[in-house]
A = this chain, B = another copy of it.
């Protein structure tokens, strides 16, 4: 995994992934106590950065392999990214989801052209079902984060940040990134180490699911004790990935942790000041920049808002409580 893979990914994504803008508001600068720049990946195709990694991974397959189709395990943003990227390549995508996934997510993934295979969380083994399907049909598994071409695709966010920050006249300060398995965090860290070495990536996680921050503190991979029960479900994973962790360990500053209420408040401010819809997990980095400013370094802080796939009820709740 290296910067050349990220540059190759950028070439593959050109004309497909959106180059999201870099947004700001004087009102948010005031709260953050410094210039604050927002990289809104909620505006990416399918509503999250996941499309970048999925598209790059599928594009990187050789023609014969790709033509047999791909498979992914996800009920969320990764599923939609893989479904759209596969459809654009004209190949089959099978998405394995728990049968209790929200109907809207199942419908959206199907509407993007994927075949959804449901399994019973309590009585069936997801990996066994997936392996069987992959074997029978020659499908290639697209992992959500612990896969070099996925990390390279997410890293294109970092190349864009480096270039856009230069246009805005800055080249350093913390870059706060919502962190689940670490694909986006490690990809951006690799890109910035090359193109904007004065910038430092800081992973941000929700309280109670801070496996990365604890891994950094311990110097070794730590696991989350819980895996559900967070509004920030989009970025909850058991532990950092085998490939992403060494990159985070080497390149990133200490992780930050925010509360669910911090996220909802950040969502309300993004509504009022940026006109953006952000999902709770996608708001953790913005929340850290706004409400934990004493833990952030630099005259300018950059935050990634990684996704916007939030239920209307949850969004309305954020507005009612904090807008």
Contact = CB atoms under 8 A, between A and B. Distances in A.
Copies per assembly: 2
7 contacts: A19-B21, A20-B21, A26-B111, A27-B111, A43-B275, A271-B312, A272-B312
A274 interface: yes
A293 interface: no
A320 B315 contact: no
A277 interface: yes
Contact of A21 (B18, B112, B268, B323): B18
A274 B108 CA distance: 14
Contacts of A40: 275
Nearest to A48: B275
Nearest to A30: B111
A-B pairs with the 7 shortest C-beta distances?
Answer: A275-B308, A312-B323, A275-B277, A312-B319, A42-B275, A316-B316, A316-B319
A47 B167 CA distance: 21
A244 to B, nearest CB: 25
Interface of A: 15, 18-21, 23, 26-27, 40, 42-43, 47, 84, 108, 111-112, 167, 268, 271-272, 274-278, 308, 312, 315-316, 319-320, 323
A111 B28 CA distance: 12
A112 B26 contact: yes
Contacts of A23: 18, 43
Contacts of A15: 167
Given A20-B21, A111-B27, A312 B320 contact: yes
B316 A275 contact: no
Given A19-B21, A26-B84, A40-B275, 12 more contacts: A15-B167, A18-B21, A20-B21, A26-B111, A42-B275, A43-B276, A268-B312, A272-B312, A275-B278, A275-B308, A312-B319, A312-B320
Given A21-B18, A21-B21, A312-B268, A274 B26 contact: no
A234 to B, nearest CB: 13
Contact of A271 (B112, B167, B268, B277): B277
Contacts of A20: 21
A293 to B, nearest CB: 19
A319 B277 CA distance: 12
A43 B276 CA distance: 8
Contacts of A108: 27
A18 B167 CA distance: 12
Contacts of A312: 268, 271-272, 319-320, 323
A46 to B, nearest CB: 9
A132 B163 CA distance: 48
Contacts of A272: 312
A316 B308 contact: no
Contacts of A21: 18-21, 43
